[in-house]
Amino acid sequence: GAVVSQHPSRVICKSGTSVKIECRSLDFQATTMFWYRQFPKQSLMLMATSNEGSKATYEQGVEKDKFLINHASLTLSTLTVTSAHPEDSSFYICSATSSGTITDTQYFGPGTRLTVL
């Protein structure tokens, strides 16, 4: 089946620094990638939708200047948390979908746990 990887799996950073998270589709071309965040014991909340070669579409309430998303190729999307603060600590999960499949199933990455001190 389709495999999506994320890197890093865990990151701890100081408040005020920026952190980049990579999401890669390993064996298929992902025309669309999604970024979610999940707080402990809560559901997944969609942050933004990223289409290759175009600007990301952010959900209401998500600061586009704080969460920079780049989808430069059909296999890679990056999420950069700029000037991170403790309240940004969360589990960030990406997913990828390949257009043309009947179900347009989203394949999820393993997640990145961000801790901001």
Query: Least distance in Å: CB of 16 to another protein?
Result: 27
Query: Least distance in Å: CB of 36 to another protein?
Result: 8
Query: Least distance in Å: CB of 37 to another protein?
Result: 12
Sign of torsion over alpha carbons 28, 77, 52, 33: positive
- Torsion angle of alpha carbons 95, 100, 103, 108, nearest 10°? -10
Q: Which of 26, 83, 104, 115 binds another protein (CB under 8 A)?
A: 104
Query: Two tokens at 3?
Result: 């495999």
Contact status: 54 vs another protein (CB under 8 A): no
